[in-house]
Structure 1
Amino acid sequence: MIAIVEEFFFHFILLSALQEMMANPEALSSIVKSLARDVDESREAVALLLHLADLVKVRQRIGRVQGCIMMLVTLLNGCDSSASYDAGKLLAALSSNTQNVLLMAEAGFFVPLVQYLKEGSDMNKILMATAISRMELTDQMKATLGEEGSIEALVKMFNSGKMEAKLSALNAIRNLSCLKENNDRLINSGVVSNLLQVLFSVTSVLMTLREPASAILASLAKSEIILHKKDAAQQMLSLLNLSSPDIQLHLLQALNSMAGHSGAKRIRAKMKENGALQLLMPFLSSCNDEIRIAALNLLFNLSTYFAEELSGQLGETYLILMVEIISKATSEMEKAPAVGIISNIPVSDKKATQLLMNANLLPLLITLTGTIITAPSNPTRKWLLDGIAAVMIRFTVPSDKKLQKISASHGIIPCLVKLLSANSIVASSRAATSLAQLSQNTLSLSKAKSSRWFCVPPSTEKLCGVHNGLCLVKSTFCLVKSGALSALVQILEGKEREADEAVLSALSTLLQDAIFESGSDAIEQASGVQAIIRILEVGCLKAQEKAIWMLERIFRLGAHRSKYGEAAQHLLIDLAQKGDPILKPMIAKILAHLQLLEMQSSFF
Structure 2
Amino acid sequence: MAKTLSEIELTDHNKVSLFKDGALEPLLQLLTHDDLKVKKVAIDAIHNLSDVPQNGLQLIREGAVGPLVPLSFKCRNKGKTEKGNAVKLFCCLTQDGDENTLLEHVGQRCIERLLRIITTSNDLEEIAAAMGIISNLPKDPEITLWLLDAGALEIISTCLTHEGRNASYRMQITENAAAALCRFIAPSNLEWQKKVAEIGIIPVLVELLVSGTTLTKQNAAISLKQFSESSTALTNRVKKRWLSWFCLEAPVKCCPVHLGICTVESSFCILEANALEPLVRMLGEADPGACEASLDALLTLMDGERLQCGSKVLAEANAIAPIIKLLSSPSASLQEKTLKALERIFRLVEFKQKYGTSAQMPLVDITQRGSGGMRSLAAKVLAQLNLLTDQSSYF
* TM value normalised by structure 2: 0.89
Aligned pairs, number = 387
1:289 aligns with 2:80: yes
Structure 1 distance, partners of 2:157, 2:354, is 40
Equivalence map 1:137-148=2 (5 Å): none
- Write the distance in 2 (CA, Å) between the matches of 1:453 and 1:360: 43
Q: How many Å separate the matches in 1 of 2:393 and 2:69?
A: 62
Which of residues 214, 217, 237 in structure 2 aligns to 1:450? 237
Q: Could you tell me whether the CA contact under 8 Å between 2:308 and 2:348 is conserved in 1?
A: yes
Q: CA deviation at 1:400?
A: 0.3
Would the aligned equivalents of 2:217 and 2:290 in 1 still touch at CA under 8 Å? yes
Contact kept? 2:69, 2:90, Cα under 8 Å: no
Summarize deviations over 1:267-298 as a string: whole Å, max 9, x none. 31344168434453443642433337111101
Measured after TM superposition, the shift of residue 597 of structure 1 is 2.1
The one-letter code of the counterpart of 2:379 is: A
Q: Does 1:242 align with 2:33?
A: yes
Matches within 5 A, 1:335-350: 335-347=127-139, 349-350=140-141
Q: Which residue of 1 aligns with 2:165?
A: 375
Letter in 2 for 1:465: P
1:386 aligns with 2:178: no
Whether 1:465 and 2:252 are equivalent positions in the alignment is no
Residue in structure 1 matched with residue 355 of structure 2 by the alignment:
564
Give the 3 Å change call, closer, same or farther, for CA 279–233 of structure 1 in structure 2.
Answer: farther
Q: Distance in 2 between matches of 1:437 and 1:531?
A: 22
State the AA in 2 paired with 1:345: L
Match status 1:497 vs 2:252: no
Q: How does 1:407-422 map to 2 (within 5 A)?
A: 407-422=196-211
The letter of the residue matching 1:335 is I
- Match of residue 269 from structure 1: 60
Which residue of the other structure, out of 291, 315, 319, is the alignment partner of 2:107? 315
Specify whether residues 571 and 244 from structure 1 end up closer, same or farther in structure 2 by C-alpha distance, changes over 3 A only. Answer: same
Per the alignment, do residues 244 and 265 of structure 1 end up closer, same or farther by CA in structure 2, a change over 3 Å counting? closer
Give the Cα separation in 2 of the matches to 1:458 and 1:389: 40
Residues in 2 aligned to 1:350 and 1:572: alpha-carbon distance in whole angstroms? 42
Cα–Cα, structure 1 residues 552 and 324, in superposed 2: closer, same or farther, change >3 Å? same
Match in the other structure for 1:579 = 370
User: In the aligned structure 2, how far is the partner of 1:355 from the partner of 1:304?
Assistant: 20
Q: CA 1:453–1:319 in structure 2 vs 1: closer, same or farther (change >3 Å)?
A: farther
- Residue identity opposite 2:201 in structure 1: I
Deviation digits for residues 433-469 of structure 1 (CA, Å, limit 9, x no counterpart): 11111111111222xx3167889957644x2001111
Q: Give 3-state SS (helix, strand or coil) of 2:106's partner.
A: helix
Q: Which amino acid aligns with 1:436?
A: K
* Cα contact 1:419–1:428 (8 A) shared by 2: yes
Task: Mark the CA change 1:249 to 1:316 in structure 2 (over 3 Å): closer, same or farther.
Answer: same
| Aligned-residue offset at 1:240 | 3.2
Partners of 2:237 and 2:260 within 8 A in 1? yes
1:400 aligned onto 2:192 = no
Tell whether the 8 Å contact from 2:285 to 2:291 is kept in structure 1 after alignment. no
Gaps in structure 1 of 5+ consecutive residues: 1-194, 197-213
Q: CA separation of 1:419/1:290 partners in 2, compared to 1, >3 Å: closer, same or farther?
A: farther
CA distance in 1, matches of 2:216, 2:40: 30
Q: Hey, what does 1:427 align to over in structure 2?
A: 216
Asked if the contact 1:218–1:250 (Cα under 8 Å) also holds between the matched residues in 2, the reply is no
Residue 327 of structure 1 is aligned with which of 107, 119, 129?
119
Q: Please give the alpha-carbon distance, in whole angstroms, between the structure 2 residues aligned to 1:219 and 1:566.
A: 60
Question: Residues 178-206 of structure 1, C-alpha deviation per residue, up to 9 Å, x if partnerless?
Answer: xxxxxxxxxxxxxxxxx25xxxxxxxxxx
**C-alpha separation in 2, matches of 1:413 and 1:504:** 18
Paired with 2:66 and 2:16, the residues of 1 have a C-alpha distance of: 19
Aligned pairs for 1:170-189 (under 5 A) are none
Distance in structure 1 (CA, Å) of the matches to 2:166 and 2:147: 29
Aligned partners of 1:537, 1:298: CA distance in 2, in Å? 39
* Matched-pair contact (CA < 8 Å) for 2:206–2:273: yes
Cα deviation, residue 404, structure 1:
0.6
Match of 1:436 in 2: 225
Offset of residue 343 of structure 1: 0.9
Deviations along 1:332-377, one digit per CA (max 9) or x if unpaired, are 2121011111111111x112111211222112222221114x6324
Relative to structure 1, the CA distance from residue 468 to residue 408 in structure 2 (aligned partners, 3 Å threshold; closer, same or farther) is same
Residues 1:290 and 1:500: Cα distance change in structure 2 (over 3 Å) = same
Query: Do 1:224 and 1:258's aligned partners in 2 also have CA atoms closer than 8 Å?
Result: no
Structure 1: distance between partners of 2:330 and 2:339: 11
| CA deviations over 1:8-42 (Å, ceiling 9, x no partner) | xxxxxxxxxxxxxxxxxxxxxxxxxxxxxxxxxxx
Aligned partners of 2:263 and 2:272 also within 8 Å: yes
Distance 2:129 2:318 in 1: 38
Q: 1:554 to 1:376 in 2, by over 3 A?
A: same
Paired-residue identity, %: 29
Q: CA contact under 8 A between 1:421 and 1:428: conserved in structure 2? A: yes
State the TM-score, normalizing by the size of structure 1.
Answer: 0.59
What is the letter of the counterpart of residue 206 of structure 2? V
Summarize the alignment of residues 17-96 of structure 1 with structure 2, pairs less than 5 Å apart: none
Q: Distance in 2 between matches of 1:360 and 1:421?
A: 27
- Which structure has more helix as a fraction of its residues? 1
Give the SS at the match of 1:399. Answer: coil
Q: Structure 1 residues 336, 584: closer, same or farther in 2, change over 3 A?
A: same
State the 1:299 CA deviation: 0.9
Q: Return the alpha-carbon distance in structure 2 between the equivalents of residues 284 and 421 of structure 1.
A: 38
Determine the structure 2 residue equivalent to 1:549.
340
Offset of 1:409 from its aligned partner? 0.7
1:430, distance to aligned residue in structure 2 (A): 1.6
Moved over 6 A (4+): 451-456
Match of 1:482 in 2: 273
Q: What pairs with 1:81-160 in structure 2 (closer than 5 Å)?
A: none
User: Which of structures 1 and 2 has the bigger CA Rg?
Assistant: 1
Contact 1:277 1:310 (C-alpha < 8 Å) held by counterparts: no
